[in-house]
Homo-oligomer: A and B are copies of this chain.
């Protein structure tokens, strides 16, 4: 598939992913009558459903990264050139903000408005490290032995990670930045975004190294 189609797929897929995450968060908060457990369950199920559909839809075109941390890992493993990886990340960032605006439009909100949702401190960063390390672990392990099952593995992992991490598992720098522009259920204060992104990138690099060794992966060993 030629590069501009792959970039379009990353843009559109990431836009849909953010529309799902932010839109279902708004709907969940509005409908759940103050029970945050019900709201997060709806948000998690919607995100999981969306991820299965989006990875199955765009996986054959661009690989369905939708996530700069995943693209970074692919570049570290020489599966993507630095130039292509940079363009992937730009497409993901553009898509993420378009998706937030699309969700806000559906729910009658302003296109963008900075979040005031505080998410910071070591426990949150540790959560994002674990969340992103685990996401990459799932992608590496499952791609190796059961590539056809990756969409289900990733979506199932994220449903779990919404609940088992204290940060509800952003695990994605593009998602983190775009959610900073949404003062809704899924938001994060802009000032808290850098801490999340650093933890995510450290998690992604660590998983790349550990699974390079674990899976005896020559591409990774040459890192």
* Residues of A near any B CB (own CB < 8 A): 5, 8-9, 12, 16, 19-24, 27-28, 31-50, 52-54, 56-61, 102-103, 105-108, 123, 126-127, 130, 134, 137-138, 140-142, 144-146, 148-149, 151-160, 162-167, 214-216
By the criterion CB–CB under 8 Å, are A9 and B214 in contact?
yes
With A123-B107, A164-B103, A166-B107 as given contacts, are A156 and B50 in contact (CB-CB < 8 Å)? yes
A interface: dominant SS:
helix
Q: Which 8 A-B pairs have the closest CB atoms?
A: A60-B145, A57-B141, A32-B37, A23-B164, A49-B160, A53-B157, A24-B163, A50-B160
A205 to chain B, nearest CB (A): 17
Partner of A20, one of B33, B34, B54, B164: B164
Q: A37-B33, A58-B141, A59-B145 are in contact. Are A50 and B164 (CB under 8 A)?
A: yes
Name the B residues within 8 Å of A167 (CB-CB): 106
